């Protein structure tokens, strides 16, 4: 069934696009000025280019964490592992100090990396493009490392590993 774009309800858009399984990635850096850790969860993180090595994700214009990280030009992406549901819930929230109760360590640029994650990717922001009510961030990969285990997956509003998707 096709629907003219002007009549697409945001809820319907989210419901249908939620059929696309995604990774769950923490984008984190240091707040410019104070150096406090800041970050958020994104499901839009992906590789963009091999040569040069680029990644991309989109961030909502309503994000309060990205504007705090942006001026530093650096962030680290932690690909969450199966079982890190609580990390996802904490960083997808709007708390002031999301990192206080989390297990994390520092990247070479002092960006927070989630301990026990499935992979870590250190990035330097290269470009931001407008994308409706989001901005598309393009970043150069400076260092990356794989962890162990399985990834955390988000699908149709549920979080889990390959076999145990749960609310
Ligand atoms: C699985 C999952 C995927 C998400 N993907 C994105 C995303 O790609 N871009 C985005 O801006 N927000 C995304 N969010 C929502 C943000 O994590 C959420 O709005 C968060 O509160 C933003 O925090 P901030 O205001 O501190 O930046 C996602 C949330 C979840 C749970």
Q: Each residue of 62-84: pLDDT tens digit?
A: 999 999 999 999 999 999 999 99
pLDDT digits (tens, 9 = 90+) for 6-59: 699 999 999 999 999 999 999 999 999 999 999 999 999 999 999 999 999 999
Q: Which domain holds residue 126?
A: 21-154
Does residue 162 fall inside a structural domain?
no
Does residue 160 fall inside a structural domain?
no
Does residue 16 fall inside a structural domain?
no
Number of domains in the chain: 1
Ligand 1 contacts CB of residue 59 (under 6 A): yes
Does residue 32 fall inside a structural domain?
yes
Does residue 14 fall inside a structural domain?
no
From 115, 137, 144, select the one nearest 67 (Cα to Cα).
137
What is residue 165's predicted lDDT score, i.e. its pLDDT?
58
* CB-neighbour burial class of residue 118 (10 A; exposed 0-12, middle 13-18, buried 19+): buried
Ligand 1 contacts CB of residue 66 (under 6 A): yes
pLDDT at residue 125 greater than cutoff 80: yes
Residue pair 54/141 in contact (Cβ under 8 Å)? The answer is yes
Domain CATH code at residue 69: 2.30.110.10
Atom of ligand 1 nearest to the CA of 24: 1
Ligand 1 contacts CB of residue 84 (under 6 A): no
CA of 165 to the centre of ligand 1 (A): 19
What is residue 5's predicted lDDT score, i.e. its pLDDT?
62
Does residue 110 fall inside a structural domain?
yes
Does residue 163 fall inside a structural domain?
no
Does residue 49 fall inside a structural domain?
yes
Residue nearest to atom 15 of ligand 1 (CA): 92
In terms of pLDDT, which residue wins out, 51 or 5?
A: 51
* CB-neighbour burial class of residue 32 (10 A; exposed 0-12, middle 13-18, buried 19+): middle
pLDDT at residue 4 greater than cutoff 70: no
């Amino acid at each position: 069934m096709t629907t003219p774009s002007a009549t697409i309800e945001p809820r319907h858009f989210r419901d249908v696009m939620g059929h696309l399984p995604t990774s769950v990635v923490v984008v984190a850096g240091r707040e410019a000025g104070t150096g406090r850790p800041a970050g958020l969860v994104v499901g839009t993180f992906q590789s963009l280019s091999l040569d040069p090595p680029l990644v991309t994700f989109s961030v909502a214009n309503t994000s309060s964490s990205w504007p705090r990280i942006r001026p530093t030009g650096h962030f680290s992406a932690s690909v969450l592992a199966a079982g890190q549901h609580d990390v996802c819930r904490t960083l997808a929230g709007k708390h002031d100090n999301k990192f206080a109760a989390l297990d994390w360590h520092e990247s070479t640029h002092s960006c927070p990396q989630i301990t026990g994650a499935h992979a870590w990717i250190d990035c330097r922001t290269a470009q931001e493009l407008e994308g409706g009510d989001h901005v598309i961030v393009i970043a150069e990969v400076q260092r990356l490392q794989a962890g162990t285990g399985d990834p955390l997956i988000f699908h149709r509003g549920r979080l889990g590993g390959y076999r145990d998707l749960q609310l």
